Structure 1
Amino acid sequence: MHADASIGARLDRLPLSGFHWRLLGLIAAGMYFDSFDIYIAGTVLAAMIHSGESTLSQNAMFVSVTFIGMMTGAWLSGWLGDRFGRRFCYQFNLGIYGFASIAGALAPSIDWLIFFRLVMGIGMGAEIVVGYGTLSEFIPASWRGRFGTVLNLIINTSLFLSTFLGWLIVPQYGWRWMFAIAGCGALFVWFLRKSMPESPRWLAEHGRGEEALRIVERIETECGTTPAQAATPAPAPIAAGSEGRMADLFSRRLLARTITAVVVLVALFVVNYAFVSWIPTFLVKQGHSVSSSLGLTAVMFAGGPVGSLVAFFLAERLGRKWGIVLFSLVCAGFGVAYPFAQSATAIAALGFAITACIYVLSSFSVATYVPELFPTGLRLRGSGLANTVGRGVSIFVPFAVAGAFTRFGIAGVLTLIVGTLLAQALIVGLLGTETRRRSLESIAADIAGTDGAQKEGGAGDAAAAVVE
């Protein structure tokens, strides 16, 4: 039996245990501080404007370099993670991000802060790619979707904490403490994650089968099983993606999946930034007072956690492909109705529903579906490419939203959102593959060539049988 042959099947057969929850905690902690740092920008920039330390143009540069850094980080993390391992890339980008945040707290001027923000952005963009991809390679297939939604929910709660701490700390102690909190938190997690194991699937993919087996055996022991109990008939080694070249993402075998991954992340970023980021402005422009606008927005945004919980319960029932298609259509329906809402109650209810749908789509797509689409040797590069394109498009979304609102009002913005959602539903419905309760090896087997299909089909069937 090849040492790497049954790695995936053995990981998928494990009962859910404290190991899986601790792994989730370690990954979530790093991504939480990453998200926290993204959300503190508004509070910090407002404080610097008030104190005269920055100007509107410098604030705009701060936001722009954040996106540039995140795009760069998403791209680099794909190459680093597939080339040098998930654990190395995770620690590398978290270290960069942590030290850059502390440097930002000590920045002598806004220009230096902008530079450090660029470096922070590299770490932040990398974290989302490596985090979701690494989690998918450890969690049993029957729970993989639900763990992705839990991770997504944990990360998104950082919006509340960053806003609350900003209100509590910045007026009294200044904006620097916000970066200090993020940086020290990230470095503390970096220390804790030194004990996190390398992905056995990645090790097996790179010919380090014995090392992978040792890690799997330790995990089996921790989960209360023995290697003898966990052993399964050995599927054939997976060949798909073993060369790990970026060009493979555009090959005939993988092109449909690459397009699918790019589409769902572009759609997610467009819809999220077009609605969630702009809704307070829309409400004020529609004649609501600032106080009323913020109150309605708070009610709408309460739909976020609800959406994540809905995704948790449906991830392994409805599936990712058809979940994305269904909630794209449902969200589009709410979007069509929104411009016709007149009362504050109707506006808040529809906004709540749209926000919930956006968070369902976020849980299904970036948190779960995209990493599942690619074989182990290309998982992070595929996710990194999709995230890079999504971040790149999001740079232009504010201009598109502003133009649509100026010319056509809220109906123009909702047309942009609805059109994006319908395009996503169509493309995912036509090109997407369902990944629900399937082993990663089984999903990878679908893209094998003619010769490898029979071998990998056997591998996928054997692995899939383990988790049914």
Structure 2
Amino acid sequence: MNMQSNIGARIDRLPTSKWHYKIFWLIGLGLLIDGFDNCLGGIVLAQLVKNGWSNNYLNAAFTSSTMAGLFIGSLFAGFSGDHLGRKFAYQVNLLIFGIASIAAAFATNMTMLIVLRGLTGIGLGAEIVVGFATFTEFVQAKERGKWAATLSLVGNCAPPLATLIGVIAMPLLGPNCGWRAMFIIGGVAALALWVVRHGFPESPRWYVARGMEEKADNILTNIEKEIELEKGIKLPLVAEQKLNKSRDDKKMPFTSLFKGALLKRTILGCSVLIGMNTALYSITTWIPTIFVKSGITVTKSIIMTTLIMFGAPLGVFIATRIIDKFPRKWMGVTLLIVIAVLGYIYAIQRSEVLIVILGFSLILFLYMYVCFASAVYVPELWPTEIRLRGSGLCNSVGRGVTIFTPYGVAWIMTNYGSVAVFITLGGLLGFVALIIATIGIETKQKSLEEICMEIK
């Protein structure tokens, strides 16, 4: 058995322990803070417009700066995480968005705030890539999907948390200090976690992929001793695995993502996340606008949107329960088809009750897919040596598409109406489902080493 498969098998046979929960919360809190900082933009911009600091054009620049930062951060995380280590990448990204977020609180004008928001975005984009991909390397194959989906659930608690804190802090501290406090809260939380995560171990799988077998063995031996002491057991010896020599034993340049078997996975991963980001933006962002254009009052629109969005946490929760029970590949295909069909049925409704019921169901299935795509499936696709670059590239492409999506949605809605938007979206999701069905691979309860056996 080569060292890479040996390390993987040793990790996969570990029983669930306090050590796993410690890793879970150290990464999960990072994703929660990341989500909080990402969500506070909309809350802050509304106040800045009211203060006379900003307008629609400056708001657009603020949003574009954030998106550009997220795009750059995803790529940065990939290269730094694969070349310098998972620990280096997730500590640096926390430091970047922690410092930049605090600095944003002291911005003296909107231009300065926009620039600092772009820097914050780099850290925010990196955290998502590093968090899910790193966690994938630490958990057992048989429960990897459930763990990653639960991690996604923690991250998806950020929107209501940001809204709740905003509702309390903004009025309490006033129009000039409230929005600054929001940035300080996110930044201080990030830096506090940065200090706590100094004791976070490097991924043994990454050490082996970089040829540092002794370091990998030392870390994993300490983890095994900790778990044996907690459980009062002696861990069984690792069974021999008949795996081909790991591709991780070879250097894999970034260009490997565009050749051979890895090219198929790059196309697969990009398609999965393009479908996710396009659907997520198109549906969640435009729901209130569609309501208002349909003659529903703004107040009622907000109430209906709130009720519909309760489907998001429920969808992610359901995903945590079923993600390891169904084949990953066909789960993704099924969810995309359901979202496409529900989207059309939802768009042609006129009854407000049915709009809420179908909208709730649509959001529920959409967030099940979000959990499947970003937290579970895409991070599993890659060899350890290139995992973060693969995930980072796909996340960047998926986010890059959302730069143009608003213009496409606006044009279709203006010229053809909201039903046409959902028909077009359904066509795109159907195409992504076809790609997954055609070139998708099955990863359910397989070791990361086994998933990458076909890459030669």
- Into which bin does the TM-score normalised by the smaller protein fall? over 0.9
**Match of residue 304 from structure 1:** 312
Please, which moves more after superposition, 258-267 or 3-12? 3-12
* 1:426-455 C-alpha deviation (Å, 9 max, x unpaired): 00000100100000000010222xxxxxxx
**Match of residue 116 from structure 2:** 116
Q: 1:159 to 1:230 in 2, by over 3 A?
A: farther
| TM-score (norm: length of structure 2) | 0.96
Q: 2:221 aligns with which of 214, 217, 220?
A: 217
Amino acid at match of 1:178: M
**Match of residue 277 from structure 1:** 285
Asked whether the 8 Å contact 1:68–1:118 carries over to 2, the reply is yes
- Within 5 Å, which residues of 2 pair with 1:190-229? 190-224=194-228, 229=236
Q: 1:394 aligns with which of 385, 389, 402?
A: 402
**Match of residue 457 from structure 1:** none
SS at match of 2:367: helix
**Match of residue 373 from structure 1:** 381
Question: Following TM superposition, by how much is the alpha carbon of 1:198 offset from its aligned partner in structure 2, in angstroms?
Answer: 0.3
Give the Cα separation in 2 of the matches to 1:180 and 1:25.
Answer: 22
**Match of residue 341 from structure 1:** 349
SS at match of 1:254: helix
- In the alignment, does 2:445 pair up with 1:437? yes
Give the Cα separation in 2 of the matches to 1:80 and 1:235.
Answer: 32
Question: Following TM superposition, by how much is the alpha carbon of 1:217 offset from its aligned partner in structure 2, in angstroms?
Answer: 1.2
- In the alignment, does 2:237 pair up with 1:233? no
Q: 1:287 aligns with which of 295, 305, 315?
A: 295
Asked whether the 8 Å contact 2:5–2:449 carries over to 1, the reply is no
**Match of residue 55 from structure 2:** 55
- In the alignment, does 2:417 pair up with 1:409? yes
Question: Following TM superposition, by how much is the alpha carbon of 1:4 offset from its aligned partner in structure 2, in angstroms?
Answer: 4.4
Q: 1:227 to 1:218 in 2, by over 3 A?
A: farther
**Match of residue 41 from structure 1:** 41
Question: Following TM superposition, by how much is the alpha carbon of 1:235 offset from its aligned partner in structure 2, in angstroms?
Answer: 5.5
Question: Following TM superposition, by how much is the alpha carbon of 1:232 offset from its aligned partner in structure 2, in angstroms?
Answer: 3.1
Q: 1:356 aligns with which of 364, 383, 397?
A: 364
Give the Cα separation in 1 of the matches to 2:317 and 2:168.
Answer: 29
Give the Cα separation in 2 of the matches to 1:54 and 1:302.
Answer: 31
Asked whether the 8 Å contact 1:240–1:444 carries over to 2, the reply is no
Asked whether the 8 Å contact 2:4–2:248 carries over to 1, the reply is no
Amino acid at match of 1:63: T
Asked whether the 8 Å contact 1:271–1:420 carries over to 2, the reply is no
Asked whether the 8 Å contact 1:3–1:210 carries over to 2, the reply is no
**Match of residue 454 from structure 1:** none
Amino acid at match of 2:304: L
Give the Cα separation in 2 of the matches to 1:129 and 1:38.
Answer: 14
Question: Following TM superposition, by how much is the alpha carbon of 1:22 offset from its aligned partner in structure 2, in angstroms?
Answer: 1.2
- In the alignment, does 2:253 pair up with 1:245? yes
Give the Cα separation in 2 of the matches to 1:440 and 1:322.
Answer: 19
* 1:234-282 C-alpha deviation (Å, 9 max, x unpaired): 6565125731211101111211111000001011000000001110111
* 1:218-247 C-alpha deviation (Å, 9 max, x unpaired): 111222277762433265651257312111
Question: Following TM superposition, by how much is the alpha carbon of 1:401 offset from its aligned partner in structure 2, in angstroms?
Answer: 1.0
Amino acid at match of 1:110: M
Give the Cα separation in 2 of the matches to 1:246 and 1:168.
Answer: 46
Question: Following TM superposition, by how much is the alpha carbon of 1:57 offset from its aligned partner in structure 2, in angstroms?
Answer: 1.5
Give the Cα separation in 2 of the matches to 1:3 and 1:405.
Answer: 56
Give the Cα separation in 2 of the matches to 1:137 and 1:395.
Answer: 31
Give the Cα separation in 1 of the matches to 2:389 and 2:32.
Answer: 22
Asked whether the 8 Å contact 2:77–2:389 carries over to 1, the reply is yes
Asked whether the 8 Å contact 1:13–1:230 carries over to 2, the reply is no
Q: 1:228 to 1:335 in 2, by over 3 A?
A: closer
Give the Cα separation in 2 of the matches to 1:214 and 1:195.
Answer: 15
* 1:308-330 C-alpha deviation (Å, 9 max, x unpaired): 12211221111321111011111
Give the Cα separation in 1 of the matches to 2:4 and 2:78.
Answer: 23
SS at match of 2:247: coil
Give the Cα separation in 1 of the matches to 2:401 and 2:4.
Answer: 39
| TM-score (norm: length of structure 1) | 0.93
Amino acid at match of 1:232: A
Amino acid at match of 1:248: S
Give the Cα separation in 2 of the matches to 1:253 and 1:430.
Answer: 14
Q: 1:231 to 1:339 in 2, by over 3 A?
A: closer
SS at match of 1:317: coil
- Within 5 Å, which residues of 2 pair with 1:156-167? 156-167=156-167
Asked whether the 8 Å contact 1:94–1:123 carries over to 2, the reply is yes
Question: Following TM superposition, by how much is the alpha carbon of 1:2 offset from its aligned partner in structure 2, in angstroms?
Answer: 5.5
Question: Following TM superposition, by how much is the alpha carbon of 1:381 offset from its aligned partner in structure 2, in angstroms?
Answer: 0.4
**Match of residue 81 from structure 2:** 81
Give the Cα separation in 2 of the matches to 1:4 and 1:334.
Answer: 44
Question: Following TM superposition, by how much is the alpha carbon of 1:339 offset from its aligned partner in structure 2, in angstroms?
Answer: 2.2
Give the Cα separation in 2 of the matches to 1:99 and 1:292.
Answer: 39
Give the Cα separation in 2 of the matches to 1:298 and 1:54.
Answer: 26
Question: Following TM superposition, by how much is the alpha carbon of 1:410 offset from its aligned partner in structure 2, in angstroms?
Answer: 1.2
**Match of residue 141 from structure 1:** 141
Question: Following TM superposition, by how much is the alpha carbon of 1:80 offset from its aligned partner in structure 2, in angstroms?
Answer: 0.5
Asked whether the 8 Å contact 2:209–2:249 carries over to 1, the reply is no
User: Unaligned 5+ residue runs, structure 2?
Assistant: none
- In the alignment, does 2:7 pair up with 1:7? yes
Amino acid at match of 1:222: E
